[in-house]
Every structure is written in C-alpha cells, then in structure tokens.
Amino acid sequence: MRALFFAIGALLFIWLFFPSQQDNKRQHRTVTDKILHPFDSSVRFRLGDVDPRFGMSQAELIQLCKDAIGIWQQGSEKPLLVYDPKAKLTINLIYDQRQADHKAHKTSQQLLETAQNVNQRISKDLDHHYTYLKQRHQHLQAQRDQLSKDVEQLNQQRISWMRIENENGPNRQRIEQQYQQLKAQAQQLDHDITELKDQNNQYNQQVEQHNQNIDTYNINVNHLNQRFPAREFHKGIYNGKCIEIYQFDTMDDLRLTIAHELGHALGLEHNQDPQALMYPVMKDQQLQNFRLSAADLALLQAR
C-alpha cells in the first residue's frame, strides 16, 4: 500500500513540475494553480514590466489585456485565456529604438501633413488670386479700349465743331468738359493699372515662395523616407516564457497586438488572411470592434 501511495505521489510530482511538451500551455501555470484547477487548460497571464516612457497606466493596460481576452472568448465561446495577477506568463512592454523611431517617424509625419495642408491651402488661395488678377486685367483692358474709342470719337467731334464754332462756343465747351472727364478716367485707369502691376508682382513673389516651400516639403519627405525606410519588424514576440511588446501606434493597435501574441501563447501559428488576427503583419485588420476571422477560428479548431 505504501508503495502505491509513493507511486501516486511520484506521478503527481512529475505532473506538477515536469509538464508535457504536448501541452505547452500548462508551463505558464503556477503549482498552486495546478493544484486548485487541475483540469483548467486556460492560458493564464498577467502584466509584467512596463516601461514608463510608453505613457500608459497599469489600469489602462490591464483593461486592454481583458479586451484582448474578450476577442478570443467572443470568437471561440470558450474561456481560453484568464488574466491572473499571480500567473507565470507575463506581458512586458519594452521601450527600445523601435518605439523611439516610430514615435519620431509619427511626429515627423504629422509635421509634414501640417505642411502639406498649408501648401494645399496656399495653392487654392493663389489659384483664386490668379483668377481675380486675370479678371481684373481683362476688365482694365476693356476700360482702356473703351477709353481709346471715346477719345477718338471726341477728337472727331472736336475737329468738326472747330470748323463751325470758336473756342467759346457751347459745343466746343461741352467737348472740352468731356475731355476733362476722359482725362480723369485715364488718370484713374493708370492708377488702377499700376495697382494691378503691384498686385501681380506680389503674386509672383508669393508663387515663388510657395514653390520654395513645396521644394522644402519634398526634400523633407525624401529625408524622412531615407531616415525611416520601409521595413517590417515584429511589434511583439512570444518566446515561450513571456510576451514582449516593443512597438504600437494606438490603443486599438496595442489591443490587437496583445491578442495576436496571446494567440501564439495558445499554440497558434500565423495564417494567410491579411484581415485575420493571426496574420503576421498588423496592417489591414479592423482595429475597432475586431472579430476573429474564419482563418483564426480554423487555427483554433486545428490546434
């Protein structure tokens, strides 16, 4: 009988301290958890080290972890994951050059977007101003043509009346008054033309400055692309002992990254659906209100 108890104790010891390679989820469970929940196959995890430079509170991150659990539970209708403050498996947020580069890249992109918006607004303003200058030029040209016709007609009348009346005659006096009116119109027209030329010069200076701004913008875009070339790297990684997350953009992005790495902790590999959670690149997924795809569910069923 003692031998039987010893054998049972030895088997229990092996089960507790030497997990089977076929059940990699069991290695994340503490001895106490194995004793209290011997038939629970859920992956239990907790938040580990978080670099404060990410600027996120423990409460925010724990909620994101629970949201990630919800993604898997809603899709599978099974309690696959459990957030346990005493779990062995940890999620660590490690701030390294990847996040620093991402932050610098994002800041530079925002500055370039602002510059682009300003350039586009100025382009529209210059287009409108060009239209105004063109219309104003046409209007003054028409005024000048009409004034030339009026002067020519008045000269013909003057020549005709000079043969009939002396300079004090009423018609010649009327013609002289009309001459003075045309002279005033001509002076105003000269003033308007000079003003238009000044506006046109100012417009040309604005166009030149605008072109310089566009050149500067294009140079900055090239510098940004050279400094941050397009490349693919892992936002996070599951190494069998913990989950390490290095880079994310938004809270929604981080939620899916956590859920993706938890999928690896469940024993799932990548799939080929670009909109799936277990696709190797986070790009085309629906970040908000995300649901597991058919490809994700197929991985769950096949594990």
Count the Cβ atoms, other than its own, within 10 Å of residue 43: 24
In a domain, 3, yes or no: no
Q: What is the pTM of this model?
A: 0.62
Contacts 24+ apart (CB under 8 A), 209-212: 210/119, 210/122, 210/123, 210/126
Distance CA 7, CA 24 (A): 25
Q: What's the domain count of the chain?
A: 2
Is residue 243 classed exposed, middle or buried when 0-12, 13-18 and 19+ CB atoms within 10 A define those classes? buried
- Give domain status of residue 219, yes or no: yes
What integer pLDDT is reported at residue 172 of this predicted model? 78
Is 126 found in the same domain as 213?
yes
Domain that holds residue 51: 20-95+246-302
Q: Based on the domain organization, do 69 and 132 belong to the same domain?
A: no
Query: 86 and 126: one domain?
Result: no
Is there a domain that residue 232 lies in? no
Are 165 and 130 in a shared domain? yes
Same domain, 124 and 79: no
CATH number for the domain including 81? Answer: 3.40.390.10
Residue 219 and residue 120 in one domain: yes
CA distance 180 to 170: 15
Asked whether 25 and 215 are in contact (CB, 8 A), the reply is no
How large is the angle between the packed helices 251-265 and 58-76, nearest 10 degrees?
60
In this structure, the answer to whether residues 46 and 119 fall within a common structural domain is no
On whether the CB atoms of residues 25 and 267 are closer than 8 A, the answer is yes
54-93 confidence digits (pLDDT tens) = 999 999 999 999 999 999 998 787 889 999 999 999 999 9
- Asked if residue 110 belongs to a domain, the reply is no
The single-letter code of the amino acid at 203 is Y
Residue recorded with tokens 């119109």? 185
Q: What per-residue string of b and e applies to 216-227 under the rule 16 or more CB within 10 Å gives b?
A: eeeeeeeebeee
**Bridge partner residues of 89 (DSSP):** 45
Residue 183, in any domain of the structure: yes
The DSSP code for 188 is: H
Q: What are phi and psi of 19, to 5 degrees?
A: -65, 150
- Flag whether 91 is in a domain: yes
Same domain, 125 and 165: yes
Residues 175 and 275 reside in one and the same domain? no
Is residue 27 a contact partner of residue 87, using CB atoms and an 8 Å limit? no
Element (H, E) at 286: none
Domain boundary among 172, 199, 227: 227
The mean per-residue pLDDT over the stretch 220-238 comes to 81
pLDDT tens per residue across span 239-284: 989 999 998 888 999 999 999 999 999 999 999 999 999 998 887 8
The reply to whether 174 and 273 lie within a common domain is no
User: 141-199 pLDDT, tens per residue?
Assistant: 999 999 999 989 988 887 777 667 676 778 778 888 988 999 999 999 999 999 999 99
User: Is 120 found in the same domain as 221?
Assistant: yes
Question: Would residue 108 count as lying in a domain?
Answer: no
Classify residue 70: in a domain, yes or no: yes
- Residue-wise DSSP of 250-282: SHHHHHHHHHHHHHHHTT----S-TTSTTSSS-
- Sole residue written with tokens 């500067």: 216
